[in-house]
Amino acid sequence: MSSGHHLLYRPGDSVVHRLPAQVKIVCALLGVLCVVATPRTEFLAFAGYLVLLAVIWAIAAVPFGHIARRAVIEVPFVVIALVMPFLGGGDRITVLGMSLSEQGTLAGWNILAKGTLGVLVSLTLAATTTPGELVVGLQRLRAPAVITTIATLMLRYLEVIAAEARRMRTARVSRGHDPRFLWQVGATARGIGTLFVRSYERGERVHLAMVSRGWTGRMPDYGAPATLRTWLTGLTPVLVTGAVLAAAVWLP
Amino acid sequence: MAAVTGEPTPPALLVERLAYAYPDGHQALYGVDLRVEPGERVAVLGPNGAGKTTLVLHLNGVLTGGTGRIEVAGLPVVKSNLREIRRRVGIVFQDPDDQLFMPTVAQDVAFGPANFGLSGDALTKRVHEALDAVGMAGHLDRSPPHLSGGQRRRVALATVLACDPEILVLDEPSSNLEPVARRELAEVLLELGRTTLMVTHDLPYALQLCPRSVLIDDGVVVADGPTRDLLADTALLAAHRLELPYGFRLD
C-alpha cells in the first residue's frame, strides 16, 4: 500500500508473494482450522506444522527474525499458558521439584502451541501479502462489499488523518501548548474531537466524489480469478497440514 | 445523434430557471439560466456563498429537489438518467484528497470507468490514455498521498477524463497550487480542448483559460460575456466582492 514503511509486509518476488491473495487467505484459514482440530497430545504433529511454516518462510525468503519480532504480540497469551500448570486441578506431576497440575499443563501447552502456530500463520500471510492485496482477495472471496469498501478507504485515509493530526499538534505546540501537565490534556482531547469532526466531513466529501463517478455501493474488482492450477499450488501447505493431521489422528 | 435526424446539436449544458433551497431553508439559487455549447470553456465567477458549488452539485444530480430544468448534451438530469448523467458530467473537486480515495493512482483512475461498465483491456487502455493526457503516465502504481500537489490535481483530472465526459466541471482548480503547477495544469486543460465549466475566484486564471465568463451572485446570473469585458468592468467586480490581484493589468 503505502510504499516504503510496511509494518508487517516484507516485499519480495517469491512464489508465495506472487500467489493471488484469495488463495493465500483460504490457505491460511484452512491451515489454522487444521491446527485447532489437532488433539493436544499429538506433539509430533505440531512439530510438523512448524517445519512446514519454516519451509514456507524459506521459499518466501522471509527471515525468521522478521516473524519472531512481530510474534511478540502473543506474549500475554504465553503468560496465561505458563500460569495454567500451577492453577489447574486434578492429578499432580512433579517437574524440576515443582508440583504441577497435569490437566493444567496440557491446557497451557494447548494454548501455547495452537496460539503460536495461529500467530505464525497470520504473520506469514501478512509478510507476503500487502494490505491492499488482502482487501482485493477478500473481495474475490465475496466478502460483504461494505466491509471491503471500509477497509479500502481506511487504508487510504489512515495517512491523511495521521498527517492532519500531526498538523493540529504542531499548531498547538507552536502556540505554547505542552501537554505535560494533567490540566493541559484537555486541549489534546478537544483536538481528537475536532479530528473526528474533520474526518467525518471528509468522509462526506469523499462519498460525494465517489457517487459523482458512478459508485453504487460496490468497489470495482481489481483482482483476477485464480486458475485451478494456482489454487492447487497455493493450497499445497493445507494438503500437507491435512495429511499430518490425518496421520496424527488415525495412525496408532 | 441529433445530427443524424437533422436537428441542431443540443448544447453541452443547459440550465433553465434553476432554483434551490437547502433543507434548513437557506435559498442558494434563485433561478439560474446557463447555456454552454460543445467545445466552449466557461468560467463561473462569484464571491463566497454566491451559490457556485450548489450549482455544480446540481449538474450531476447529487443535489436534487430544486425547481427548473438541467440537460447535459440533450439528456435531462432526472433520477432515471443519473448513471449516464454522472458519466457525462465530470466534476473535479477542490481537494484532491477527497477525489483520490483508492490506494494507487491506476486504481483511482480506473474507479469511474469500471463503475460505468468498462473492464479488462479496454479499462487499462482508458486509464493509460487519461494519465497520458495529463502527463502522469509514469505514476500508475504510486500512492496518491505521495504525489506533489500539482501531480495530485492532474491525477484528479485524469480520474474524471477516464469517464470520457461531455463536460468537465472544475471546482477551484488553481487553489493551493504553486505557480509552476498552476501553469502546467493550465497547459493540460488547454491541450484537452474539452467543454469546460470552471468555478473559480482566480480571475487571471479565468482570463487565461476561458474566453467566456458567467458572474453569479446571490443565486442568480448577474453577468455573462467575454471574460476580458467582465474583468474590465471594475464597478461590476466591486459590486460583487471580486477584484483583480494587485499589479495585474488587462492589456
Chain A interface includes B157 (CB < 8 A): no
Query: What is the phi-psi region of residue A214: left when phi exceeds 0, alpha when psi lies from -120 to 50, beta otherwise?
Result: left
Which residue of B86, B95, B143 is in closest CB contact with A212?
Answer: B86
Chain A interface includes B87 (CB < 8 A): yes
Residue A2 has what pLDDT? 41
State the Cα–Cα distance between residues B121 and B45, nearest whole angstrom. 40
Average pLDDT over residues B221-249: 93
Chain B interface includes A154 (CB < 8 A): no
The predicted-structure confidence for B2-41, as pLDDT tens digits, reads as follows: 445 567 889 999 999 999 998 898 899 999 999 999 999 9
The predicted-structure confidence for B104-159, as pLDDT tens digits, reads as follows: 899 899 999 998 888 889 999 999 999 999 999 999 999 888 899 999 999 999 99
For residue A135, the chain B residue with the least C-alpha distance is B103
What are B39's three cell numbers?
467545445
Same domain, A80 and A194: no
Chain B interface includes A201 (CB < 8 A): no
Is the residue at A219 inside a domain? no
Average pLDDT, whole number, for chain B?
91
Chain B interface includes A174 (CB < 8 A): no
**How far away is chain B from the Cα of A184, in angstroms, using its nearest Cα?**
32
* Chain A contact set for B160 (CB, 8 A): 213
Same domain, A127 and A202: no
Best of B84, B97, B161 to disrupt the A interface (most A CBs within 10 Å) is B97
Is the residue at A7 inside a domain? no
Contact B110 A210 (CB under 8 A): no
Residue B86 has what pLDDT? 92
Structure confidence at residue A170 as a pLDDT band (50, 70, 90): confident
Pick from A154, A7, A132: nearest CA to A73? A7
Who wins on pLDDT, B108 or A173?
A: B108
What are A105's three cell numbers?
499443563
- Per-residue pLDDT at B235 exceeds 80: yes
* Chain B contact set for A206 (CB, 8 A): 98, 101
Q: List Cα–Cα distances, B40 to B111, B182, B190, in angstroms.
A: 27, 21, 11
Structure confidence at residue A56 as a pLDDT band (50, 70, 90): very high
Same domain, A29 and A101: yes
Is the residue at A221 inside a domain? no
Helix runs in B23-119, H state only: 52-59, 82-88, 96-99, 105-115
Residue B180 has what pLDDT? 94
- Per-residue pLDDT at B217 exceeds 70: yes
* Chain B contact set for A156 (CB, 8 A): 101-103, 144
Residue B3 has what pLDDT? 47
Dihedrals phi, psi of B240, to nearest 5 degrees = -120, 30
Same domain, A117 and A238: yes
Average pLDDT over residues A59-73: 92
Question: Residues A56, A241: contact at Cβ < 8 Å?
Answer: no
CATH classification number, B13-239, choose in 3.20.20.30, 2.60.40.10, 3.40.190.290, 3.40.50.300: 3.40.50.300
Contact B103 A209 (CB under 8 A): no
Chain B interface includes A212 (CB < 8 A): yes
Kindly state the helix (H) or strand (E) to which residue A202 belongs, with its residue range.
helix A185-212
* Chain B contact set for A157 (CB, 8 A): 101
Is the residue at A169 inside a domain? yes
Chain A interface includes B81 (CB < 8 A): no
* Chain A contact set for B99 (CB, 8 A): 209
Best of A212, A219, A222 to disrupt the B interface (most B CBs within 10 Å) is A212
Is the residue at A6 inside a domain? no
Is the residue at A235 inside a domain? yes
Same domain, A169 and A80: no
Same domain, A56 and A133: yes
Instruction: Look up the domain containing A175 and give its range.
Output: 144-212
The predicted-structure confidence for A5-24, as pLDDT tens digits, reads as follows: 578 898 888 999 999 999 99
Round to the nearest angstrom and report the end-to-end CA distance of chain A. 48
For residue B81, the chain A residue with the least C-alpha distance is A214
Same domain, A166 and A113: no
For residue B99, the chain A residue with the least C-alpha distance is A209
Question: Is the model's pTM score more than 0.90?
Answer: no
Contact B112 A213 (CB under 8 A): yes
For residue B83, the chain A residue with the least C-alpha distance is A214
Average pLDDT over residues B197-221: 94
Beta strands in chain B (DSSP E): 13-21, 27-36, 41-45, 67-72, 75-76, 89-92, 167-171, 196-199, 212-217, 220-226
Number of domains in chain A: 2
Chain B interface includes A215 (CB < 8 A): yes
Average pLDDT, whole number, for chain A?
87
The predicted-structure confidence for A103-145, as pLDDT tens digits, reads as follows: 888 999 999 999 999 999 999 999 999 888 898 899 899 889 8
Is the residue at A8 inside a domain? no
Number of residue pairs across A and B with CB atoms under 8 Å?
73
Is the residue at A57 inside a domain? yes
For residue B161, the chain A residue with the least C-alpha distance is A213
Q: Is B220 exposed, middle or buried (0-12, 13-18, 19+ CB in 10 A)?
A: middle
State the Cα–Cα distance between residues A15 and A56, nearest whole angstrom. 10
Contact A213 B110 (CB under 8 A): no
Same domain, A196 and A110: no
Which residue of A156, A210, A213 is in closest CB contact with B163?
Answer: A213
Same domain, A61 and A161: no
Question: Residues B161, B192: contact at Cβ < 8 Å?
Answer: yes
Chain B interface includes A240 (CB < 8 A): no
Same domain, A25 and A89: yes
